[in-house]
Structure 1
């Protein structure tokens, strides 16, 4: 993948030199609280996932600030047939700055054009409504609840909410024509 440059960020493949910064992000329980990475709790645990999952893939990208060249998070697709299920995480210091929506808009284009997804979907816990707002800002459509899961922290049952964007809708909203 080439780099994608937005107004404030560089979206690029994750490199070996990102190990320590990404480790600090993923070992923060507040950052991973609602993600599939909440079970990554030790440096050894992280290193195994870093090497097997985050390096040398067309689906996972680092988010770096343009001004400081600091890794502040990641954005990734989990492919399921012609659908890309997205996951993202940001360091707490980067929360509330609009970075995920900024990255997401560029990544939608990459997902549809380079990875040939027909649909991109994102899930979030109902107890984290800010994620839903971000997905809406990225042009995704609310699917509502798609199931429930027990919180690993409290045992409380939470709803899994979802948003989606189809390639057709993305093309229409971006005034692009689909090649036939």
Structure 2
């Protein structure tokens, strides 16, 4: 069970005590608008993903907890992908714009490369949310262009953008 600390954060496995805060996040359309969790529409579906993913995966899913008040403010997770790892992150809206995701990501990239043995880590964001792309750049990731497009639930065309960091580039940045 891995746990990490940064200046302002504790990055740790999720616990049953995180249930209600995480449910609030998953059911907040602002938080999950462009995440895989936007499809979690019922309490039963949330209970299943909470138990089978957030609690069960203690090596790839981390709660983002503020050190000063020990409040869960979000999550950061790795998913195994064909070329390496893919990351997903989300924060409660009251924690947006404070640099927490980049701070967590800068600490967890090393874990992804050294412990999970990824050769490449990538992340995706919706072009209508350019702040997420800026966060990825702050983690040392490089813009790799458009991955695909889709039509949102509101009928808008969404361009999914891709950022990538290779293990070699991360090692150069870390030196």
- TM (norm. structure 2) is 0.96
Are 1:129 and 2:93 counterparts? no
After the TM superposition, which residues 1-180 of structure 1 pair with which residues of structure 2 at under 5 Å, given as runs? 1-57=1-57, 58-151=59-152, 153-175=153-175
User: SS where residue 155 of structure 1 aligns?
Assistant: coil
Pair 81,145 (structure 1): closer, same or farther in 2 beyond 3 Å: closer
- Looking at structure 2, the residues matched to 16 and 147 of structure 1 have their Cα atoms a distance apart, in angstroms, of 36
Which 4+ residue blocks in structure 1 deviate beyond 4 angstroms? none
Higher helix share: 2
- Looking at structure 2, the residues matched to 55 and 79 of structure 1 have their Cα atoms a distance apart, in angstroms, of 17
Pair 82,143 (structure 1): closer, same or farther in 2 beyond 3 Å: closer
User: SS where residue 38 of structure 1 aligns?
Assistant: helix
Deviation of 1:42 after TM superposition, in Å, equals: 2.5
In terms of mean alpha carbon deviation, does 158-167 or 80-89 score higher? 80-89
User: SS where residue 96 of structure 1 aligns?
Assistant: coil
Deviation of 1:2 after TM superposition, in Å, equals: 2.3
- Looking at structure 2, the residues matched to 8 and 28 of structure 1 have their Cα atoms a distance apart, in angstroms, of 25
Deviation of 1:147 after TM superposition, in Å, equals: 1.2
Could you tell me which runs of 5 or more consecutive residues in structure 1 were left unpaired when the two chains were aligned.
176-180
Deviation of 1:82 after TM superposition, in Å, equals: 4.8
CA deviations over 1:99-146 (Å, ceiling 9, x no partner): 000000011011001100000000011111110000000000000111
Could you tell me which runs of 5 or more consecutive residues in structure 2 were left unpaired when the two chains were aligned.
none
CA RMSD across the alignment: 1.0
